[in-house]
Amino acid sequence: MTPPLSSTDFFSAKLRFETDPADLAADRAGGASPLVLDVRSTEAWRQGHIPGALHIPGAELTARADELGTDRDRAVVVYCWGPGCNGSTRAALSLATLGFTAVRELIGGFEYWAREGFLVESHAGRHRQSPDPLTAPAQT
């Protein structure tokens, strides 16, 4: 029988496999270079995405995994629309199944990246919206 998972084990694992928009932005600003992977549809990608992200729709991920390179230990952060979308969870599982060892899911997805006021890229160029005071501290 498997011993029950402790709270410490659960939350440690959760932090190992997830990141949030503020932590991803801080990692990128600090020189860390995780591969950021957008698994939404092409229409969603065109509407806006995280600058520098690679776009591979979730349904195409297994067939196009070679586009992520050969380093299966490279940090990969996967995102979809937001908390109501499990596309990033499915993509992270697919990548783990393919042997990627450092996959994390961006909690809040693109929605919270944009709502927290981080830079967004679209067909219209780069922009950022004012942070939503329900998701990020107000700028003073």
Q: What is the pLDDT along the chain (140 residues), one digit of tens a residue?
A: 878 889 999 999 999 999 999 999 999 999 988 999 999 999 999 999 999 999 999 999 999 999 999 999 999 999 999 999 999 999 999 999 999 999 999 999 999 999 999 999 998 899 998 999 898 777 66
Task: Give me the active site residues, please.
Answer: 80
Kind of pairing between the strands at 120-122 and 76-79: unpaired
What's this model's pTM, rounded to 2 decimal places? 0.92
The superfamily in CATH containing domain 15-127 is Rhodanese-like domain (3.40.250.10)
Q: Which residue has the tokens 């990246």?
A: 113
